[in-house]
Structure 1
Amino acid sequence: MESILCEAIKLEFEAYTSVSPCSGSSRELNEVERAKLNELIVANKALHAPIDDDVTQLVGETASSAGFKGGDGKHDPRLITIVNLTAVAIRRFIKMAKKINAFKNMCEEDQVALLKGGCIEMMVLRSTMTYDGQRKQWKIPHCQEQFGSIRTDVLKLAKGNIYRSHDSFIRSFEARWRTDEHVILIMSAILLFTPDRPKVVHPDVIKLEQNSYYYLLRRYLESVYPGCEAKSTFLKLIQKILELRKLAEEVTGVYLDVNPIEPLLMEIFDLKHHAA
């Protein structure tokens, strides 16, 4: 926890150089802060388009290619379909990122590096918004197809302890935080602008942008919670970001173990080919 505190203190001071300080002592977001949050809200509309056609096409393609080599039953078709549904989400996260000015203004190399490194983390974070703890399932919004909901039991089909890891993560992620779309949007931006991704060219520029979103997260929390609660929540959400990155590594391991895998995922993971 001490390292989290140190990071929070460092971010608090660095962030003041990233964003113009708010005038006065008002807890409400100022004009600059509201504009930065509104940009994320507008960009987020890319995730709201109906996905039925995408799901139908993907399920059809997966079914037609699910003749596993060797026929050893290693990969359950349900798990393959769920994994490849990720491709639908990733396409939307790419569209979302391209609507953020700071991202658009970065060089192509950094854009690619940030998307490859951050898509899975953003997807895992986003999925917490639609998780129903009582029914142990995710509700896929804007979808009327057979995959309108997905039971987390499907994670038991994967190797490792991904089901247990996800359950532990979601239980410790308070519903009032993970169902607050503003919190999730800002946390998604923090994940997107992570400067230590492989093949990043300008980490200092990316870190500056990430710090501005840490600052925005702290300011947003100050605008909706009392002072001490806002700071406590800020620290806990920083911790959740670190935990989420570890969980996303486990999720990625599941994806790399599945065959067949959707072409976009092969590109995200830099796979030349994927054999069972």
Structure 2
Amino acid sequence: MKRNARLWCPFQKGTYEITRKTRRQCQASRLPPAAVIMSDMAVEQKRALIRRKKRERIGTQPPGAKALTEEQQMMIRELITTQMKTSDGIFTHFKNFRLPEVFSSAHKTESLQTQSNAEAAKWSKIREDLCSVKVSLQLRGEDGSIWNYKPPAYNSGKEISSLLPHMADASTYMFKGIINFAKVISYFRDLLIKDQISLLKAATFELCQPRLNTVFNAETRTWECGQLSYCLDPAGGFQQLLLEPILKFHYMPKKLQLHKEEYVLMQAISLFSPDRPGVGQCRLLDQLQERFAITLKAYIKYSRPGPAHRFLFLKIMAMLTELRSIKVQHTQRLLRLQDIHPFATQLTQKLFSFTNG
């Protein structure tokens, strides 16, 4: 036996020099002799292993990852509860919507002949705006029937007019859910009515995108909304698809595998933005937005420890900034489309200022 050999005793939780007495005690505990002879380094490694397994067993986070405060937990719970009450990703109650018109070859010839040069130029601009990305629609009936709509092969730009009324109906349905979401949040109800209206007009489109992302299938480029499925068919291939900022946005949260808590906090940060046009309670909104941002950062640090998610908070904030830019582009496109082919519902007219109403 080595002179400096020591004994690790699991009952006394200490190390002792090997003697006849300690050896007999360990043998009495039915431990094999090889298990009780350990060097000082091995003893320390054993202790470290026990501590690590204990942390894993009880779910203790590494140093620096503090638990959320009670206030932060309450904020997240309220947002998630509100989201569940007001979100209908499978479009359960979406009824009496308009369906796109199916274009025929005769319709194509007639439409091209009746277009003026100015109108043709406008539709050409619309085609450039949309980067030739076409949307196919599938409707599954309760009786098991399936109705498919695919946009025509030709690409004058005007073919999108057939789909616009349906998309306006679908957008209006989602916008109503967002408005209900905001109205239920206690922090929002405490604001002045004027500021509530300004925030909703500015942020509704942005708040819709995280919700839509939860039903987006990145592999098939399809939004699976219950009986309805919207599939992207990029004429220019996948690379051209990625040129569309709104489509790039929908791929990013899926890549990051965001939690439901992160989705709702994204929406709250976007909603309570102090720099929206027409807002008066800027200081209060700035404080509220900061609290939601701090909560998001704390949630990520606590629930996603490790270097892999070190920059997740910054990536989410960058996505929100990108959404602001996308919203401006989206509004400009809608204004051009509305000018050529009036399609907007009363709600979308108010949200995007198509009229002075």
**TM-score normalised over the length of structure 2:** 0.59
How far the C-alpha of 1:149 sits from its partner, in A, is 1.2
1:85-130 Cα offsets, whole Å, 9 max, x none, are: 1111111111111111110000000000000000001112322222
Shift of 1:229: 4.3
CA distance in 2, matches of 1:171, 1:58: 28
Change (3 A) 1:162 1:250: farther
Alignment partners' CA distance in 2, 1:253 and 1:38: 36
User: What is the aligned counterpart of 1:116 among 192, 201, 207?
Assistant: 201
Query: Distance between the aligned counterparts of 1:245 and 1:93, measured in 2?
Result: 17
Identify the structure with bigger relative contact order (alpha carbons < 8 Å, sequence gap 6+).
1
User: Counterpart of 1:168?
Assistant: 248
Report the Cα distance in structure 2 between the residues aligned to 1:177 and 1:37, rounded to whole angstroms: 18
- Which 5+ residue runs of structure 1 have no aligned equivalent? 1-23, 64-69
In percent, how many aligned pairs have the same letter? 21
C-alpha offsets along residues 151-198 of structure 1, whole Å, 9 cap, x if unaligned?
Answer: 133899xxxx996223333344443444x2111100000000011111
Q: Does 1:51 align with 2:91?
A: yes
Tell me which of 203, 213, 222 is aligned to 1:137: 222
- Structure 2: gaps spanning 5 or more residues: 1-62, 102-110, 116-157
2:233 maps to which residue?
A: 153
Alignment counterpart, residue 182 of structure 2, candidates 97, 101, 105 = 97
| Selected match of 2:305 from 222, 226, 237 | 226
**Could you tell me how far apart the structure 2 residues matched to 1:139 and 1:155 are?**
21
Query: Which residue matches 1:126?
Result: 211
User: What SS does structure 2 have at the residue aligned with 1:59?
Assistant: coil
Q: Is the 8 A contact 2:65 2:301 kept in 1?
A: no
Counterpart Cα distance in 2 of 1:41 and 1:52: 19
Does the CA-based 8 Å contact 2:217-2:223 persist in structure 1?
A: yes
Contact 1:83 1:255 in 2 (8 A): no
Q: Which has the larger radius of gyration?
A: 2
Q: Distance in 2 between matches of 1:171 and 1:241?
A: 14
2:44 aligned partner: none
Q: Which amino acid aligns with 1:150?
A: Y
TM-aligned CA deviation for residue 49 of structure 1: 8.1
Amino acid at match of 2:247: D
Write out aligned runs for 1:233-248 (5 A). 233-248=312-327
Q: Which residue of 2 aligns with 1:207?
A: 286
Instruction: Provide the alpha-carbon RMSD of the alignment.
Output: 2.9
In the alignment, the residues of structure 2 paired with residue 170 and residue 50 of structure 1 have an alpha-carbon distance, to the nearest angstrom, of: 17
How far apart are the structure 1 equivalents of 2:184 and 2:247? 32
Give the 3 Å change call, closer, same or farther, for CA 124–203 of structure 1 in structure 2.
same
Q: Give the whole-Å Cα distance in 2 for the aligned partners of 1:107 and 1:99.
A: 15
Distance 1:162 1:262 in 2: 29
Q: Does the residue aligned with 1:150 lie in a helix, a strand or coil?
A: strand
Structure 1 CA distance for aligned equivalents of residues 204 and 311 of structure 2: 28
One-letter amino acid of the counterpart of residue 328, structure 2 = E
- Following superposition, which runs of at least 4 residues in structure 1 exceed 6 angstroms of deviation? none
> What does residue 27 of structure 1 align with?
66
Question: Which residue pairs with 1:38 in the alignment?
Answer: 77
- Deviation sequence 1:210-237 (CA, Å, 0-9, x none): 0111011001101211154444111111
| Distance in 1 (alpha carbons) for counterparts of 2:97 and 2:348 | 13
Distance change in 2, residues 1:176/1:49 (3 Å)? closer
- The structure that is helix-richer by fraction is 1
Q: How many pairs align? A: 233
